[in-house]
Chain A
Amino acid sequence: MKGFTYHEPNSIGDAVNLLNDNGARASLIAGGTDLVIKMKQGKSEPEHVISLQSIPGINEIKYSGEELRIGSMVTHRAIEQSKIIRDKFSLLADAVDNLGSVQVRNLATIGGNICNGAPSADTVGPLMALDAVLLFEGPEGERSIPITEFFHGPGKTAQAANEILKEIVIHDLPPGSCSRYIKYTRRKAMDLPLLGIALVLVSDGAEDVCKEARIGLTLAAPTPIRATKTEEYVAGKPLRSSAMWDEAGNIAVNESSPRTSFRTTSAYRKKIIQALLPRAAFEAIRRLSEQQRKG
């Protein structure tokens, strides 16, 4: 690894100033599980490394009853062990349950997972389906960006070079909501997804109609996407109809444009979307039934 100067500012303002002063010569380090590897491989050679670990207030999970706020330095392990996330935003717990190893989850942060812009990032599909808003701090103050507008291409995001992600804000889901994230992998653990499907469904309890569907897909296009045509189709349809979900799978395939990569082909990714969307929906619905049984 090439030498650099290490900084550990104690406030977000100091961190922004350091970043602003050093421009492209600086890298932020959160958990380090991606950056340290890139520096070892010589793919990233910053002259200044700015650690966010001593900045107060950005490593907490807060829930007000109306919104969930996750600090950018919250680790995947802390999300995994958060009762409120498992109970109310279960698709986000699904995303971290099988992300790397315990050792990696103890270090890696949700902010790093988002800002790297990796198409395979596990938390991103769920955050897309949750309509999360990203809160940045820059030289001109705060800026918020909906996560659905954040990704511009593999490794390319709307984050300015002198901005730091502080918080991820998620509005509470309406009553009758259920969710699921499925990561399709070749091995059970320690693998990146071939495809990710995240889904939030809102049921009209009495009629068993799907009032609203929000579907986030990762690796289904060059950037994470929302399957908006599929969402429109599903809204107002019977929630538990497998014929309906099969058709939704077809629509989702049609609005996807997956890449062929060394992991798998575009054609196979389309097959996964078709099979996985109904599966994810019925697993979400099963969670809803369990909630309703518990009352």
Chain B
Amino acid sequence: MIQVKISFQLNGDAVTAEVPDHTTLLEMLREEFELLGVKEGCGHGECGSCTVLVDQKSVNSCLMLAAYVNGRTVQTIEGLAGAQGRLDPLQEAFVKHGAVQCGFCTPGMIMSAKALLAENPNPSRDEIRWGMAGNLCRCTGYVKIVDAVESVCKGGCSCGEGS
């Protein structure tokens, strides 16, 4: 089988993988690196549960060939927490606002929100909904998800009510 060698930065570490040419980024992340927070929902770029950041931009990892990330930087939900497993403010906000039901869409939601807030630190509710239109949740009505993202303000602090 034809193998392609891919070297890239994954959650802050320099890594290398050799995978068949037709491997998707999603498959490589889950199967070679066991990053199971990257979920496959639809596999066609509609649901957003496979969202990761490549060079700080949110992308559907199910639509990308693994070879695309050679020489690039990839961040998954597993790379978001800080030292000693301290949660990212977005992760904390999702917990605090109960923005999780079954949880399958949550890693993709959080990675999309991360990319959104990096470009627009104080989005309106409409901008949040618009920016996260590519992430589907089949459990909730999205209200708590938007609440959670809205509560994370500029500078990375959580500024929801009472904090």
State whether the Cβ of A183 lies closer than 8 Å to any Cβ in chain B: no
- Assembly CA distance A39 to B63 (angstroms): 10
Check: B41 CB closer than 8 A to any chain A CB. no
Chain A contacts for B21, CB-based, 8 A: 3-6, 49
CA distance A213 to B131 in the complex (A): 34
Stretch of B54-62, B76-84, B96-104, B138-146 with 4 or more beta carbons under 8 angstroms from chain A: B54-62
Contact B67 A107 (CB under 8 A): no
Instruction: Report the separation of the CA atoms of residues A36 and B62 in the bound assembly, to the nearest whole angstrom.
Output: 9
Chain B residues numbered 27-86 whose CB sits less than 8 Å from any CB in chain A: 43-46, 48, 51, 54, 57-60, 62-65, 67-68, 70
A104 within 8 A of B: yes
CB distance from B128 to the nearest CB of A (A): 12
- Name the B residues within 8 Å of A37 (CB-CB): 44-45, 63
A51 within 8 A of B: yes
In the assembled complex, A185 has its CB within 8 A of some CB on chain B: no
Known contacts A39-B22, A189-B133, A190-B133: A107-B46 contact under CB 8 Å: no
Nearest B residue (CB) for A5: B2
- A36/B63 contact (C-beta < 8 A), A5-B2, A101-B133, A102-B116 known: yes
Given A3-B2, A8-B67, A102-B116, answer yes or no on A107-B24 (Cβ-Cβ < 8 Å): no
State the CA gap A288–B156 with chains docked (Å).
40
Q: Mark A138-180, 1 if CB is under 8 A from B, else 0.
A: 0000000000000000000000000000000000000000000
Contact B22 A107 (CB under 8 A): no
A6 touches B130 (CB 8 A): no
Specify which of A1, A4, A6, A36 is in contact with B64 (CB 8 Å cutoff): A36
Q: Nearest Cβ distance between residue A44 and chain B, in whole angstroms?
A: 12
Asked if A292 lies at the interface with its beta carbon under 8 angstroms from chain B, I say no
Cα(A36)–Cα(B51), bound, Å: 16
What are the residues of chain B within 8 A of A190 when measuring CB–CB?
A: 46, 133-134
Inter-chain CA distance A102–B129, complex, in Å, is 11
In the complex with contacts A49-B65, A53-B68, A100-B130 CB distance below 8 A? no
Residue A261 at the chain B interface, CB threshold 8 Å: no
If over half of B's interface residues share one DSSP class (helix, strand or loop), that class is named, otherwise mixed; here it is: mixed
CA distance A29 to B24 in the complex (A): 13
CB distance from B133 to the nearest CB of A (A): 4
**Chain A residues within 8 Å of B17, by CB:** none
Contacts of A32 in B (CB 8 A): 63-65, 68
Are A100 and B45 touching (Cβ within 8 A)?
yes
What are the residues of chain A within 8 A of B115 when measuring CB–CB?
A: 102
Asked if B22 and A1 make an inter-chain contact with CB atoms under 8 angstroms apart, the answer reads yes
A263 within 8 A of B: no
Indicate if the CB atoms of A40 and B43 lie closer than 8 Å: yes
Residues of chain B lying within 8 A (CB to CB) of residue A100: 45, 134
**From A4, A6, A49, A103, contact of B45 by CB (8 A):** A103
The yes or no answer to B1 lying at the interface (CB within 8 A) is yes
Question: Is the CB–CB distance between A106 and B24 below 8 Å?
Answer: no
Report chain B residues within 8 Å CB of A49. 21-22, 65
A106 with B57: CB separation less than 8 A: yes
CB-nearest residue of chain A to B50:
A103
Bound complex: CA A2 to CA B67 (Å) = 16
Q: Which of A33-74 contact B (CB under 8 A)?
A: 33, 36-37, 39-40, 49, 51, 53
Closest CB in chain B relative to A122 CB, distance in Å = 15
A2 — which chain B residues lie within 8 A by C-beta? 22
Task: Give the distance in Å from the alpha carbon of A106 to the alpha carbon of B24 in the complex.
Answer: 17
**Are A189 and B112 touching (Cβ within 8 A)?**
no
Within 8 A of A (CB), among B87-146: 112, 115-116, 130-135
Taking CB atoms, residues of chain B closer than 8 Å to A188 are: 133
17 A-B pairs besides A6-B4, A100-B134, A102-B133 with CB distance below 8 A are A1-B22, A3-B21, A4-B2, A4-B21, A32-B65, A36-B24, A37-B44, A51-B67, A101-B60, A101-B135, A102-B112, A102-B132, A103-B48, A104-B60, A106-B54, A106-B58, A106-B59
Residues in chain B within 8 A of chain A (CB atoms): 1-2, 4, 20-22, 24, 43-46, 48, 51, 54, 57-60, 62-65, 67-68, 70, 112, 115-116, 130-135
> Which 3 A/B pairs are nearest by Cβ-Cβ distance?
A101-B134, A189-B133, A6-B21
